[in-house]
Chain A
């Protein structure tokens, strides 16, 4: 199946700092990528949709100035958590639908963010 990678897999940072998470589609191009957040023992919740060449769209309640998304190319989307606080500690997971011909969705391995 299609492969989606994320980097880093784990990050620990101090409160107030910014953290960048990368999501890459390795063997296909993705004009759209989705960013989800998963708190411990909870389900995945969509945060935003990343669109190559245009602005991301954010779900209600997600601060666009805090969670900056840049879809730099057809294989790379980045999520930057700015001025991170302990309540931002979570598991961040991206997904990418391969597009035409393969209408399904593959997830990256996730990034565990811990804000001290």
Chain B
């Protein structure tokens, strides 16, 4: 089955700097790669997703890149703000309608 590895497990950045979180997956059949932000005591919130027919996607300060050949994808957050502090999870699935396999999460701290 699918296995998703996520690094780093914790990340501290100064406000205004960029943050990068990387994930790798094992199943070449996976085609859907979402990123979720989870705040304490809340459910995961979808922040951006990418499908295998696209190499990069951007939404304001957030971007995701996908290298399907190497089976890795990354989340980039620019101009970080304190409210970006949370746990971020990457995930992979065959389609958006199939179960997700999650990475172990990255705790991002943005220091003002």
Contact = CB atoms under 8 A, between A and B. Distances in A.
B11 interface: no
Contact of A107 (B36, B49, B98, B104): B36
Interface residues of B, number: 24
A1 B44 contact: no
Contacts of A110: 41-43
Contacts of A99: 97
Ranked nearest first, the 4 interchain pairs of A and B with the lowest CB-CB distance are A103-B96, A97-B97, A110-B43, A107-B43
Nearest to A111: B43
A104 B49 contact: yes
Contacts, number: 58
B1 to A, nearest CB: 10
A93 B43 contact: yes
B13 interface: no
B32 A103 contact: yes
Interface of A: 1, 6, 32, 34, 42-46, 49, 93, 95, 97, 99, 102-110, 112
B104 A105 contact: no
Nearest to A103: B96
Contacts of A44: 44, 89, 100, 102
Contact of B95 (A43, A103, A107): A103
Q: Describe A's contact surface by its main secondary structure.
A: loop
B46 A104 contact: yes
Interface string B31-70: 0101010000111111001010000000000000000000
Given A43-B105, A44-B89, A105-B93, 12 more contacts: A42-B104, A43-B104, A44-B100, A44-B102, A45-B102, A93-B44, A99-B97, A105-B96, A105-B97, A108-B43, A109-B43, A110-B42
Contacts of A6: 43
Contacts of B51: 103
B75 to A, nearest CB: 15
